[in-house]
Structure formats: structure tokens, C-alpha cells
Chains A and B, each alone.
Chain A
Amino acid sequence: NAGVTQTPKFQVLKTGQSMTLQCAQDMNHNSMYWYRQDPGMGLRLIYYSASEGTTDKGEVPNGYNVSRLNKREFSLRLESAAPSQTSVYFCASISILRIEAFFGQGTRLTVV
């Protein structure tokens, strides 16, 4: 009963490096989301995928790309990391029927 699994949990990058955050859910949800959480700003939506094969920009998409590999997996890529991308990233999947979001444990990313 894993729910939503994110990897890695912690990461330190140098400015300009790239990396991919992985997310997988085992609840058969169609919709998956990537949020970033910053102090005093709550959770802001980066990208979301309403269903397999579709992705859409959220509130703060600049500097990120996503891939909905299949129904289970939704990855977030930083092509050239910047200090402004230092944040905690959360993946979520949403049950449209219940409109309830299930969150992963988060990835704490620091860009130096």
C-alpha cells in the first residue's frame, strides 16, 4: 500500500546541473501533479497531467519539464538548475471521483 512514491528524498545540485525527480503512484489515478513548497507561499502548481499522454502548465512552470511516462509515473526535470529552484517538491495524484489528493513524501532540493 505504497500510495505515492517520490525519489530522491534529498538532493544538492550545483547551478547549471540537471536532474529528474521521479514519482510513481499505485492507486490507478488518472491525474498527477507536481507542486513546489516555499516558506510563506504555500504549494504552487508547477505542472500537471490530467491523464496519461497529456501534460499542462501550472502556476510556475518556467525552468521545468515533465513527462507522463505511463499511468503510474510522472517525472519532473530540471534542465539547468538555478538557486531559485531550491525548494521542497511534492508529487501528488488525485482521485477525480473523490477529488482527494494523495501526496508523496517530498524531495528537498538545494541548488548552490
Chain B
Amino acid sequence: AQSVSQHNHHVILSEAASLELGCNYSYGGTVNLFWYVQYPGQHLQLLLKYFSGDPLVKGIKGFEAEFIKSKFSFNLRKPSVQWSDTAEYFCAVNTGGGNKLTFGTGTQLKVEL
């Protein structure tokens, strides 16, 4: 069965610092990978997704993620975070175009002024 690991549970950064959130998945076949963001009190929204092709994926609000197949990883990055990026970030995996999305446990990001 597919699973997703997010090792950073809480991250605190100052504005303008660079961000990298780790995501590893366990599945040997074809995967579709996602990052979702949940702002305080809101529902989850899609940040970016990878299906195939260029392993460096760019999403909304300056976020990007790199799929490294050999490492089973899909880390999220942003060169310079803003206070408004304070949110919880979830990595998710779908295998082979099936019906299920499996989520990681989430990373709570707090950006301080």
C-alpha cells in the first residue's frame, strides 16, 4: 500500500528565509504527487502537482517541488517565504491513476515577521 512521510512536523522561519519541506513516499510504481496547503480555518487547496515530464514543478505563490524518483521524494521549496505562507502543508500521493489520494501527516509552517 502507498504511504507518505513528512518528517518535519513543525517549522518556524523568519520572513525572507528559504523553505524546504520534505516528503517521501513508498510505492515502486507510477505515482502522481501533490502538495496541498491549508491556511488557518480553511480547507485544503492544491499548491502543485506532478504527473510526468519535467521533475521540477512550479505551483502557485512561488512554490516549487522536485520529484526525485531514485529517492522517492517530492520536496517542496520556496526561495523566500512570507508571513502569509503560515499554514499547514500536506504532501499526497496517488498511484497509477487510481481512486485514492493518500496524505502525509502534514507540516505546520509558521513564518515570523
* A contact residues around B99 at 8 Å (CB): 31, 48, 50, 94, 96
Does B106 lie within 8 Å of A94, measured CB to CB? no
Does B105 lie within 8 Å of A42, measured CB to CB? yes
* A contact residues around B73 at 8 Å (CB): none
**Is B63's beta carbon under 8 Å from chain A?**
no
In the bound assembly, the distance between CA atoms of A33 and B99 in angstroms comes to 10
Q: Mark A16-40, 1 if CB is under 8 A from B, else 0.
A: 0000000000000001010100001
Q: List A49-104 residues whose CB lies under 8 Å from chain B.
A: 50, 58, 90, 92, 94, 96, 99-101, 103-104
In the bound assembly, the distance between CA atoms of A44 and B51 in angstroms comes to 23
Q: List B85-113 residues whose CB lies under 8 Å from chain A.
A: 90, 92, 94, 97, 99-106
Interface size bracket, B side: 20 to 34
Does B94 lie within 8 Å of A104, measured CB to CB? no
Q: List B17-32 residues whose CB lies under 8 Å from chain A.
A: 32
In the bound assembly, the distance between CA atoms of A31 and B97 in angstroms comes to 12
Interface size bracket, A side: 20 to 34
Query: Mostly helix, strand, loop or mixed at chain B's interface?
Result: loop
Does B103 lie within 8 Å of A99, measured CB to CB? no
In the bound assembly, the distance between CA atoms of A99 and B36 in angstroms comes to 13
Q: List B24-54 residues whose CB lies under 8 Å from chain A.
A: 32, 34, 36, 42-46, 49, 51
**Is B7's beta carbon under 8 Å from chain A?**
no
* A contact residues around B45 at 8 Å (CB): 103
| Shortest beta-carbon distance from B83 to chain A in Å | 23
* A contact residues around B69 at 8 Å (CB): none
In the bound assembly, the distance between CA atoms of A106 and B92 in angstroms comes to 18
Would you mind naming 19 contact pairs between A and B with Cβ atoms under 8 Å apart?
Answer: A33-B101, A35-B103, A40-B9, A42-B6, A42-B105, A43-B103, A45-B102, A48-B100, A90-B44, A92-B101, A94-B99, A94-B101, A99-B32, A99-B51, A100-B46, A101-B46, A103-B44, A103-B45, A105-B43
Where the two chains meet, the residues of A that have a C-beta atom closer than 8 Å to any C-beta of B are 31, 33, 35, 40-45, 48, 50, 58, 90, 92, 94, 96, 99-101, 103-106
